[in-house]
Structure 1
Amino acid sequence: MIENIINNLKGQLTGELQNKYNLQPDTANKSVDLAKDNIMDEVKNRAASGNIGGLMDVFKGNKGASESSAVDGMIGKYVSDLTGRLGIPESIAKQVAPFAINFIMQKVSGKVSSGGVSQGDLLGGLMGGNLKDTLGKGLGGLFK
């Protein structure tokens, strides 16, 4: 589900990265893909460990992205990926990362809070399948 949301806003975010940070089109496009990967990885890891509540508060709009340690962690890893994998200078990556992650989180939050996407759909899509089975495995069978 989040993949669909990000894919729908990819053109807009790619354009923003090109305009605001002078990234080349290919680099901006790859930057959005890396942002998506970082968000999905963080949510998968938190869901598997049973520590998804804080991040879900951001998705539901109950908490700002800047208030979340999960989002801070995503931004830090994303900076590292932008510099290491795409060769973006660290000074630029430190500007791009919070902008891109917050942009995506706000769009996802808007979809969830408007009722366009349910929490179950969001988590189920992030986990790549059946939410009950995935959480059941990740939380020691609690939901089986």
Structure 2
Amino acid sequence: MIENLINNLKGQLTGELQNKYQLQPDTANKSVDLAKDNLMGELKNRATSGDFGGLMDVLKGSKAPGESNAVNSVINKYVSDLTTRLGIPESIAKQVAPFAINFIMQKLGSKVSSGEVSQTDLLGSLVGGGLKDKLSKGLGGFFS
């Protein structure tokens, strides 16, 4: 689910990276893929370990992405991947990474806050369908 949501943003984000940071189309496209991979990995790790409260605060809009340890962790790893895997200069990667991750988190957050995507479904997609029911039953108050 989250992967599909991010894929739907790919064209817009790729264009933003090309315009704001003068990335070549192929590099911008690969940058978005790396952002998705980094974000999905961190979200899955946090969700499966039960440490998703901070992520939900960001997705519900009660906390800015920059205030989340999980989001900051993604950004730091993403900077490293942009430089080592795509050869983007570190000075540019340090600008691209927060922009791209915050862009994605804000778009995902708007889907959650609008009710288009439920928090339970979002977390269920991260940890797998088998845990979805446990999450919604065991943490019912958390999702209200």
**Letter matched to residue 90 of structure 2:** E
Amino acid at match of 2:70: A
Structure-1 separation of matches of 2:31 and 2:133: 28
What is the CA-CA distance between 1:125 and the residue it aligns to? Answer: 1.8
Aligned length: 137
- Give the whole-Å Cα distance in 1 for the aligned partners of 2:38 and 2:7: 14
Q: Is it true that 1:19 corresponds to 2:19 in the alignment?
A: yes
- TM normalised by structure 1 equals 0.89
Deviation at 1:133, TM superposition (A): 6.3
- TM-score normalised by length of structure 2: 0.89
1:81-100 mapped onto 2 (5 Å cutoff) = 81-100=81-100
Matched with 2:131 is 132
Residues of 1 paired with 2:133 and 2:47: CA distance? 9
Q: Is the 8 A contact 1:58 1:64 kept in 2?
A: yes
Q: Distance in 1 between matches of 2:52 and 2:120?
A: 12
Contact preservation (8 Å) 2:60, 2:112: yes
CA-CA distance at 1:96 after TM superposition:
0.1
- Secondary structure (helix, strand or coil) at the match of 1:88 reads coil
Q: Which moved more, 1:74-83 or 1:117-126?
A: 117-126
The percentage of aligned residue pairs carrying the same residue is 74
Instruction: Report how far residue 126 of structure 1 moved.
Output: 2.4
Match of 1:29 in 2: 29
Question: Going by fraction, where is helix more abundant, 1 or 2?
Answer: 2
The amino acid that maps onto 1:52 is F
Residue in structure 2 matched with residue 139 of structure 1 by the alignment = none
- State the superposition RMSD in angstroms: 1.8
- The amino acid across from 2:49 in the alignment is S
Between the two structures, name the one with larger relative contact order (CA 8 Å, sep ≥ 6): 1
In 1, Cα distance between the equivalents of 2:113 and 2:130? 20
**Alignment partner, residue 48 of structure 2:** 48
AA of the residue aligned to 1:126: L
Unpaired runs of 5+ residues, structure 1, are 137-141
Q: Contact (CA 8 Å) 1:60, 1:113: kept in 2 or not?
A: yes
Q: 1:120–1:131: 8 Å Cα contact kept in structure 2? A: no
Runs of 4+ in 1 over 3 A off after TM superposition: 133-136
Counterpart amino acid of residue 61 in structure 2: G
Superposed displacement of residue 10, structure 1: 0.5
Q: Unaligned 5+ residue runs, structure 2? A: 140-144
Separation in 2, partners of 1:101, 1:75 = 7
